[in-house]
């Protein structure tokens, strides 16, 4: 590691040290990460809300113990379920897409029906 002169990423103070160092002090490093987390928290809040709401809707429909349940798509639409908000997806060998919302998944069963699955 070479030692070079450079400026702190946060406060712009000049400092010297190992070439992979980007902050003058631990305090600047910590503050930088606090700001980064705050900016991220602010930006992702709306998406988180929609995903949390989607999960609540699925939980409400499924109840506590059911492993899977087929429902009319309208039931989800009436509850303002946002079909395009997912935590992931998986296409099985038969070409069926599992749309993940945390520990739940849903798939279109027919044009008007949705199968909701509780993931193990
Ligand atoms: Zn600094």
Query: What are the residue boundaries of the structural domains of the chain, listed by start?
Result: 3-118
Structure tokens belonging to residue 19: 């070439």
How remote is the CA of residue 39 from the centroid of ligand 1, in Å?
19
Token look-up 């928290």 returns: 41
Interval between CA 5 and ligand 1 midpoint (Å) = 13
Name residue 66's beta-bridge partners: none
53 band by pLDDT with thresholds 50, 70 and 90: very high
Mean pLDDT of 80-108: 97
pLDDT given for residue 3 in this prediction: 65
Ligand 1 centroid – CA 12 distance (Å): 6
Look at residue 5 in the predicted model and tell me its pLDDT: 80
Alpha-carbon gap, residue 15 to 37, rounded angstroms: 25
Dihedral of the alpha carbons of 35, 40, 43, 47, in degrees to the nearest 10:
-150
Distance CA 67, CA 69 (A): 7
Three-state DSSP class for residue 35: helix
């Amino acid at each position: 590691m070479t030692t070079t002169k450079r400026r702190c990423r946060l406060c712009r103070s000049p400092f010297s040290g190992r070439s992979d160092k980007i902050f003058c002090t631990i305090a600047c490093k910590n503050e930088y990460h606090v700001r980064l987390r705050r900016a991220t928290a602010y930006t992702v809040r709306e998406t988180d809300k929609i995903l949390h709401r989607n999960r609540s809707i699925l939980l409400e429909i499924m109840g506590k113990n059911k492993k899977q349940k087929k429902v009319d798509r309208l039931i989800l639409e009436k509850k303002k379920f946002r079909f395009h908000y997912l935590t992931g997806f998986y296409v099985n060998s038969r070409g069926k897409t599992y749309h993940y919302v945390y520990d739940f998944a849903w798939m279109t069963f027919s044009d008007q029906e949705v199968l909701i699955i509780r993931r193990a």
